[in-house]
Amino acid sequence: MEKGPPLELVDAHLSEYSYIGGHRPTQADRAVLNAVCVPCDRSNTFPNLRRWAAHMESFTRSEMQAFPPHTESCKMDNQLSDLVNKELKVDVAAPNKSPENDKAGNHSKRTENDKDGNHSKGSQNEKGGSQSKGKGKSGKFVLKTPKGTRDYGPMEMAYRREVFNVIYSVFHMHGAVQIETPVFELKDVLTGKYGEDSKLIYDLEDQGGEILSLRYDLTVPFARYVAMNKIDNIKRYHVARVYRRDSPAMTRGRYREFYQCDFDIAGQFDAMIPDAECVQLVHQVLSKLGLGEFTIKINHRKILDGVFGSCGVPSEKFRPICSAVDKLDKSPWEEVRKEMVDEKGLDEEVADKIGNYVKLSGREELLETLANDELLKSSPSAQAGFADLKLLFQYCKSLGCAEHLVFDMGLARGLDYYTGVIYEAVLTAGQNFGEEGPVGSVAGGGRYDGLVGMFDPKKKTVPCVGLSFGIERLFTIYEQKMRAESNKVRATQTEVFVVTACKGMVHERLKLLGLLHEAGIKAEGSYKNNPKILNQLQYAEDNKIPLVALIGESEVEAGVVKIRDTVTREETTIKREELVETVRQKLGGL
Amino acid sequence: MEKGPPLELVDAHLSEYSYIGGHRPTQADRAVLNAVCVPCDRSNTFPNLRRWAAHMESFTRSEMQAFPPHTESCKMDNQLSDLVNKELKVDVAAPNKSPENDKAGNHSKRTENDKDGNHSKGSQNEKGGSQSKGKGKSGKFVLKTPKGTRDYGPMEMAYRREVFNVIYSVFHMHGAVQIETPVFELKDVLTGKYGEDSKLIYDLEDQGGEILSLRYDLTVPFARYVAMNKIDNIKRYHVARVYRRDSPAMTRGRYREFYQCDFDIAGQFDAMIPDAECVQLVHQVLSKLGLGEFTIKINHRKILDGVFGSCGVPSEKFRPICSAVDKLDKSPWEEVRKEMVDEKGLDEEVADKIGNYVKLSGREELLETLANDELLKSSPSAQAGFADLKLLFQYCKSLGCAEHLVFDMGLARGLDYYTGVIYEAVLTAGQNFGEEGPVGSVAGGGRYDGLVGMFDPKKKTVPCVGLSFGIERLFTIYEQKMRAESNKVRATQTEVFVVTACKGMVHERLKLLGLLHEAGIKAEGSYKNNPKILNQLQYAEDNKIPLVALIGESEVEAGVVKIRDTVTREETTIKREELVETVRQKLGGL
């Protein structure tokens, strides 16, 4: 798109007005929401923009559609006004217009260009004029990725490879096997597994075949795989993208297509040994990534159920109350209590009783204290949970991963299918490489003993425990860390750039490249017949290629090659047959 | 599903009858086609089944739907008859029944179980009785992956990792960067790029948002990425799955979801230097994978156009005639000629003239001969193509990758967008590890200088050349090769299995695991409190874990560990503090 107004400008406008159009929401808010990108870092650079964007998220799609039309009723900067008018015009003109009006939007983040100037990172959207066949006359072709998705450029992919390599190495350390399932499943496989989140599932069009949906997570396909293949036990990992038609939530950096990175152990085993391995694995990955201090919170669904039962929650309300408790990490107790009482119809005293428990967190001692709590002493469910967690603490001590464990009675986890231990790892505040505040959960999981049985014809179940890394968050934090430490990751791994010093030497360049490749050395050269020598040397410097192999006519005649260190610019002349060995030595010494 | 009839039985039936139901096609053919899996290897084990399956593929979906109903008019084995009846019954009962009736089907391959007994490879489908909410009363839940897709089990993934590692290492050797794009694109991005194959595109349901489609290949998203980010030059690779609603084509091992592995160079460069790098890269990957002899066929769209023009093909028929020529690798000239004359309305003499050229193949000398051909001498297009290919041959010689090059006038490549050099790598016959006949194309590509311009508002184009590996085929052949060489790849990489010799030692086992993991050693132990020692040792042997670290009460007391070599069963007792060092030495010596 032609440049929209800078965020400063929108922020300034919103410091004066509650909404884009003045003092009430209008279609102008939708237009701007579609066109600007609210940065997802937690810095406080654009407080008004943030406040407004967060408020906008509280409207449903249909509510936003029902906003009154935009009228120029308040003072507005020209750039902003232009943007609104342009967006609204497209809104009207777009054929096959969808209620969300995504086509006209530009939701993707814009990030700085890469150093090498080859490309822009992320999806820097441009409204192209390219006309696609079959569009209406007014239908401008918008060149963008679908809403909530983005491209990943070379630098991002380089950081990702590093994070993945750490995680894969830990998975392999635990003897996990890898599996892969299709990106879509029969819709029936997903039906009834995600509760009210099912509305976020992407369905494929019925093109005369099966009714299919894109996978929503990797856990349900895993359970389907275990049941379908009648597997008794397996320890597997699966890294793949999943799909959720979530509200844009650009402020929170959430996407509709994102990676999940799952590790699960299925099988009938003795209590808490696989569960402890999961905790150990989270501990190892976070330690190896070196992202600073972290805490692994643990709790147990049976303890929560015991608390709910003992406090007088009717059993049919266990899950709804549980998902209210789940919000404690984002909202204060007062709000959670309000949800319990007002929305979920709990008695006030019952809610208060629950409040006494779910606010507690501590170490092993708290387990002991609560196990002897007057009310919980008589709850078999709670006592079973306490026994499990005590054992888990002991096993984690033996494994050497107990120091980060915190027993947190407020941890509830959103998903319905958990049946036992639950855990969640958070990076603790102050470690977030330039961002303010804690970054929140980076891994989570727990025991789900009933899911496989939902797929088995005889309801035969296979107990499971597993975890999922919030890998997109880890990517971001890792990248921030590497940048903060000026620990530059390169997009390529090229070791030698072959430079020719004069004209007519393209064949000599290719021969040298063939020779280096033959020896397994990563080498590149120019694609021009007669490139300028300075441009070639500059390319090597810009791309941080450590060595240059330089030949001119005299070098070819004498059967020698000049090796140049890109950083020190030191040059040595060696015999051609010593090239590979010399390069290896020099690379080894770097 | 309950076991269907063995393939032998169906084959035997079809040796007597043309169709399942006798001498005319009926719904029974559809039923059996849905239920059996025709092996995709090229051995001639079930000739009748193959003949029938190939014939079935010649019917369109609607033609098959119009087959008359099945009547028991011919002698049929009970098992086969049961299958037909069962399939047809489900056909009637299934709610939301689709014309293809996939739900009742079972298309996936069944392969042997893995050695470890943990799981079955591939998608061994089972009809589960699991009832999903919202299904009709008669609606049995079918536990399967969607038609044309499959799961990949641990062993397959282990082979894949090895193939990918070879390919990635070559990509990095050439200094390629990696990018990733979303699995779906705005439908408009794909529209008008694939000609009549567009009908194979998977569309997402319009759920109130943008109109989206799953990507069909990686080339069009790459062109969209280059145009959208206004990139002048980039050398990138992209490995990801793509989606095509193709006819099942089980006989050819084709799937609807499969990997592509693309390498492309975009940018304005001097002639043939990037093109030669692409040929070199194919050469390097196939050499490193060690799959035996291969040939890289090359041709040039300008040569083909020159031939067509000189022979008298009207220019609007260049592309249709080109796609007829493309079939020469599967069909004899007579059939291709027939298509040209009967379907595409070419004069017989024109077709014969073309035949004189497209049957030719040879080395560099043929280029010289044809460049001086009476008819082609006056075609500027053909002469430009010859000049390019001569240069390409020379560059490939300098790069050391010319020995496998063959100039093949019959190579045409299917896609419309190629504009220059085209190439295709084939493994030559007799190298296919148990299969008969040549395995066909394993890589292909070419120059496409116009595609990026289709996305640019000002039609500014960026010349591109690239290639795609037929990675699914490479996986299969690599796996066959490794099995043929008894070169067993393990699904896991575990190095040490920690064994406890007596009861009550779970904590000691976990401590030893923690210690080994801390040192970066891949180690596992039993998930049981008190596992039997023989079972533990057996597990290590079955899973080819090279070392066992064994402790009993006496070892713990004495502060020692027994190290056992799983193959030789040799045991040595060492001090606990020497464990890590000893394990490293022993692993290094294996």
CA gap A277, B498 in Å, rounded: 14
Give the Cα separation of B395 and B278 in Å (integer): 11
Q: Which residue of A110, A205, A529 to mutate against B (max B Cβ within 10 Å)?
A: A205
**Among partner residues B173, B185, B529, which is closest to A517 by beta-carbon distance?**
B173
Contact by Cβ (8 Å): B496, B547: yes
Give the separation between CA B342 and CA B359, rounded to whole angstroms: 20
Closest Cβ opposite residue A151 in set B119, B146, B180: B180
* Cβ pair A182:B151 closer than 8 A: yes
Question: In terms of CA atoms, which chain B residue is nearest residue A391?
Answer: B507
Residue A386 clears pLDDT 60, i.e. is over it: yes
User: Chain A: nearest CA to B310, how far in angstroms?
Assistant: 32
In whole angstroms, what is the distance from residue B354 CA to residue B309 CA?
Answer: 10
- Judge contact between B257 and A212, C-beta under 8 A: no
Nearest to B354 by CA among B340, B374, B344, B367: B340
pLDDT (0 to 100) of residue A10: 84
What's the confidence (pLDDT) of residue A124?
A: 34
**Sign of the CA dihedral running A65, A67, A69, A71:** negative
Rounding to the nearest 10 degrees, give the CA dihedral for residues B325, B327, B332, B333: -10
CB contact under 8 A, A179 and B154: yes
| Beta bridge partners of residue A362, listed in sequence order | A407
Query: Where do runs of H (alpha helix) occur along A133-193?
Result: 154-173, 187-190
Mark out the alpha helices in B122-153 (DSSP H runs).
none
Contact (CB<8Å) B149/A257: no
Cβ–Cβ below 8 Å for B208 and A98: yes
- Chain B's closest residue to A455, CA to CA, is B130
pLDDT digits (tens, 9 = 90+) for A238-276: 999 999 998 755 445 678 999 999 999 999 999 999 999
Q: Could you say which of A133, A175, A394 has the minimum Cβ distance to residue B522?
A: A175
Q: What is the mean pLDDT of residues A465-492?
A: 86
Residue of A nearest to B531 (CA): A270
Reading the block at residue A183, the tokens are 């990106």
Residue pointed to by tokens 């004066």: A16
Question: Hey, what are A28's tokens?
Answer: 């102008």
Are the CB atoms for A104 and A114 separated by under 8 Å? no
Residue tagged 């979801």 (tokens):
B257
- The answer to whether the Cβ–Cβ distance between A398 and B514 falls below 8 Å is yes
Q: What is the reported pLDDT for B118?
A: 32
Closest residue in chain B to residue A240, using alpha carbons only: B240
Do B119 and A492 make contact, defined as CB atoms within 8 angstroms? no
Q: What does the block give as tokens for A242?
A: 């999943």
**Among B179, B265, B400, beta carbon nearest to A518:** B400
Residue with tokens 């890294």: A239
User: E-assigned strands of B363-420?
Assistant: 405-408
Q: Is the Cβ–Cβ distance between B118 and B155 less than 8 Å?
A: no
Nearest to B474 by CA among B248, B259, B249: B259
Q: Do A205 and B205 touch (CB under 8 A)?
A: yes
How many angstroms separate the CA of residue B14 from the nearest CA in chain A? 27
Q: A316 to chain B, minimum CA–CA distance in Å? A: 19
How far from chain centre, in Å, is Cα B293?
20
Phi, psi of B515 (to 5 degrees): -65, -45
B236 contacts A179? CB cut-off 8 A: no
Is the separation of the CB atoms in A355 and A317 below 8 Å?
no
What's the sign of the alpha-carbon dihedral B11, B12, B17, B19? Answer: negative
Whether residues B143 and A224 touch (CB distance < 8 A) is answered with: yes
Report chain B residues whose CB lies below 8 A from the CB of A205: 202-206
Distance CA A334, CA B187 (A): 47
Q: How many CB pairs under 8 A join A and B?
A: 372
Residue A297 gets which letter from DSSP? E
Closest residue to A146, CB basis, from B123, B133, B185: B185
Identify residue B483 by its one-letter amino acid code. R
A500 in Cβ contact with A508 (< 8 Å): yes
* pLDDT given at position A350: 95
User: Is A257 within 8 Å of B183 when comparing Cβ atoms?
Assistant: yes
Confidence (pTM): 0.76
The tokens for B411 are: 């190579």
pLDDT at B113: 33
Least Cα separation, residue B72 to chain A (angstroms):
28
Q: Which position has the higher pLDDT, A32 or A405?
A: A405
- Half-sphere exposure of residue B366: CA atoms within 13 angstroms, side-chain side: 16
Average pLDDT over residues A567-586: 94
Q: What is the pLDDT of residue B39?
A: 56
Question: Which of the 8 DSSP states describes residue A259?
Answer: E
Q: At A485, is the secondary structure helix, strand, or coil?
A: coil
Chain B CA closest to residue A171: B522
Write out pLDDT tens, residues A37-56.
665 444 456 777 877 777 77
Query: Which positions in chain A touch B257 (Cβ < 8 Å)?
Result: 182-184
Cα separation, B480 vs A433, in Å, equals 49
What whole-number distance in Å separates Cα of residue B206 and Cα of residue A354? Answer: 43
> What does the pLDDT look like over A301-329, one tens digit per residue?
999 999 999 999 999 999 889 989 998 98
Q: Single out the residue of A111, A53, A416 nearest to residue A251, CA to CA.
A: A53
| d(C-alpha B220, C-alpha A172), whole Å | 35
What is the total residue count of chain A? 590
Q: How far is Cα A515 from Cα A494, in angstroms, rounded to an integer?
A: 15
Mutate to test the interface with A, among B90, B127, B180 (most CBs of A within 10 A): B180
pLDDT at position A540 over 90: yes
Facing A133 at nearest CB: one of B134, B152, B192: B192
Distance CA(A473)–CA(A258), nearest Å, equals 10
Radius of gyration of chain B from Cα atoms?
29
Q: How far apart are the C-alpha atoms of A567 and A529, rounded to whole Å?
A: 26
Strand pairing of A547-551 and A405-408?
A: unpaired
Of B191, B205, B197, B211, nearest to B244 by C-alpha is B197
Residue A73: pLDDT band with limits 50, 70, 90:
low
- Complete edge-to-edge strand list for the sheet that includes strand B560-565: B523-525, B496-500, B547-551, B560-565, B571-575
Residues of A in contact with B100 (CB under 8 A): 208-210
CB contact under 8 A, A132 and B234: no
Q: How far A446 CA sits from the closest chain B CA (Å)?
A: 17
According to DSSP, residue B416 is labeled T
Residue linked to tokens 């993934």: B157
CA dihedral over B70, B71, B76, B80, signed as positive or negative: positive
Q: Do B143 and A212 touch (CB under 8 A)?
A: no
Strands (E), B91-233: 177-178, 184-186, 212-214
Contacts (Cβ under 8 Å, ≥6 apart) of B137: none
- CA of B392: which chain A residue's CA is closest? A507
Nearest CB partner across the interface for B270, out of A130, A508, A529: A529
Give the nearest partner residue to A228 out of B126, B209, B454, using CB atoms. B126
Query: Which residues are CB-contacts of B558 (< 8 A; sequence separation ≥ 6)?
Result: none
> Mean pLDDT throughout A1-13?
68
Q: Are B182 and A151 a contacting pair at CB < 8 A?
A: yes
Tokens 């593929």 sit on residue: B57
Inter-chain residue contact A228 with B270, CB threshold 8 Å: no
DSSP A50-114: HHHHHHHTTS-HHHHHTSPPP---S---HHHHHHHHHHHHHHHH-TT--TT--TT---S---PBP
Query: Tell me, what's the pLDDT at A122?
Result: 33
pLDDT along chain B (590 residues), means of 10: 63 80 81 70 63 72 76 76 74 36 33 32 33 38 86 93 95 96 95 82 90 95 95 96 78 79 96 96 95 94 96 92 89 94 94 95 94 95 97 96 95 88 86 50 94 90 95 88 80 94 94 94 95 94 94 95 94 95 89
Which among B98, B141, B228 has the least Cβ separation from residue A125? Answer: B228
| Residue of A90, A210, A257, A460 for testing the chain B interface, max B β-carbons within 10 Å | A210
Q: A522 vs B172: CB contact, 8 Å cut-off?
A: yes
Q: What percent of chain A has pLDDT over 70?
A: 84
Chain A residue numbers with beta carbons less than 8 Å from the beta carbon of B521 are: 173
Q: Cα dist. B283→A517, B266, B296, B402, B425 in Å? A: 12, 20, 8, 9, 9
Give the pair of three-digit tokens for residue A574.
């060696």
Best probe of the A interface among B159, B517, B524, by most A CBs < 10 A, is B517
Gap between the terminal Cα atoms of chain A: 44
Tell me if A263 sits within 8 A of A206, measured CB to CB: no
Length of chain B: 590
- Give the HSE-up count for residue B223: Cα atoms under 13 Å, Cβ half-sphere: 27
Instruction: Select the more confidently predicted residue: B74 or A284.
Output: A284
Tell me the residue type at A116.
D
Q: Which two tokens stand for residue B203?
A: 């569309």
Query: How would you label B26-65 residue by residue, b for 16+ Cβ within 10 Å and e otherwise?
Result: bbbbbbbbbbbbbbeebeeebebbbebbeebeebeeeebe
Cβ-contact B306, B409 below 8 angstroms: no
CA B370 to chain centre: 36
Q: What is the pLDDT at residue B40?
A: 46
Residues of chain B with Cβ-Cβ distance to A191 below 8 Å are 132-134
- Dist CA A64 CA A91 (whole Å): 14
